Amino acid sequence: MQKNQNGADIPGKDTFTKNIGACRAFHSSISTGAGNWTTAQLIEWLDSQGAFNHPYWMCKCSWSYGNNKIITDTGCGTIHLAGCVIEVMGNKGAMTIRVTTPSTSSGGGITNAQFTYINHGDAYAPGWRRDYNTKNLQPAFALGQTGNRVANDKAVGWNWNSGVYDADLKGASTLILHFNMNAGSCPAVQLRVNYKNGGIYYRSARDGYGFEADWSEFYTTTRKPSAGDVGAYTQAECNSRFITGIRLGGLSSVQTWNGPGWSDRSGYVVTGSVNGNRDELIDTTQARPIQYCINGTWYNAGSI
């Protein structure tokens, strides 16, 4: 090798790099070809480029949407390889592949993202993951429904992972929002929401004791509390307790002159004294009972 060639005359640069244990910067603008790829096809292409011959291998794909593949089976987003950086660590039997995507893409490719594929053998759960970052913020519940449907509305434990759960509820199902920070006097809180505005309920945990109290319902404009719920009288109870009218009842009379007269009659008022022959004595006394009305019914007053 000539010094002034600076390695240009090395006949097998790939083998040389491997033998000295150096990292391999394979290409700064390589095209992978148009069309779609599976992960398996990506791995075969990397193998054909000698990516697994080095402890660390990397390349950057050309900035051409039409001349680079789209990886469609990651399970966490589509990767359009145009402008991406591909890094490979390890050998084909125990590999880590990292793909960093550019700030713009095409064909549904996820931008500003870093995808990582780990495969240490089929028995060791190979698969992709995508990192969240300042450009790709993690949503509150990134995966939609959390887990499988649970047996009932009390099945989600206070110390379960935060998420949105589907729970069986009397032949239908209900949505349970579960928030667990696993700290403080109230480490977890849940909201239960029924379909078609059928009610919102909540319950909260205490320390490490879990949910000690049952669900409590929120009152809304469509689900108002009953009178009993707030300790008030119903309309019927109010009507049975309040007097809505007072009047004098039917006329009663008794002969006063040379007759029995009246003894004290509580609840009556004298309304007339009749002296038919205009002498010095009253002939007849007239009275009417005092009456009151409750809930549409008139009653005689027992006393005044």
Half-sphere exposure of 147 (CA within 13 A, CB side): 17
pLDDT at 228 over 90: no
Verify that 157 and 212 share a domain, yes or no: yes
Q: Give strand pairing partners of 167.
A: 150, 174
Of the pLDDT bands very low, low, confident and very high (cuts 50, 70, 90), residue 174 is very high
Distance CA 256, CA 273 (A): 9
- The DSSP 8-state label assigned to residue 47 in this structure reads H
Report the pLDDT averaged over residues 115-142. 90
Distance CA 185, CA 206 (A): 6
Verify that 120 and 65 share a domain, yes or no: yes
Tell me which amino acid residue 106 is. S
Collapse the DSSP code of 147 into the 3-class scheme (helix H, G, I; strand E, B; otherwise coil) and give the result.
Answer: coil
Q: Domain tally for the chain? A: 3
The position carrying tokens 């713009």 is 104
pLDDT at 188 over 80: yes
Residue 220's domain comprises: 139-224
Verify that 47 and 155 share a domain, yes or no: no
Verify that 250 and 200 share a domain, yes or no: no
Percent of the chain with pLDDT over 90: 66
Most confident of the following: 53-57, 228-232, 234-238, 277-281: 53-57
Please report whether residue 24 resides in a domain. yes
Helices (H), 101-214: none
Of the pLDDT bands very low, low, confident and very high (cuts 50, 70, 90), residue 85 is very high
Verify that 15 and 102 share a domain, yes or no: yes
**CA 108 → CA 3, 36, 114, distances in Å?**
48, 12, 15
Closest C-alpha to 117, from 39, 27, 50 = 39
Residue where a domain terminates, one of 224, 258, 291: 224
Structure tokens at 265: 């009659």
96, 90 in Cβ contact below 8 A? Answer: yes
Please report whether residue 286 resides in a domain. yes
Verify that 250 and 213 share a domain, yes or no: no
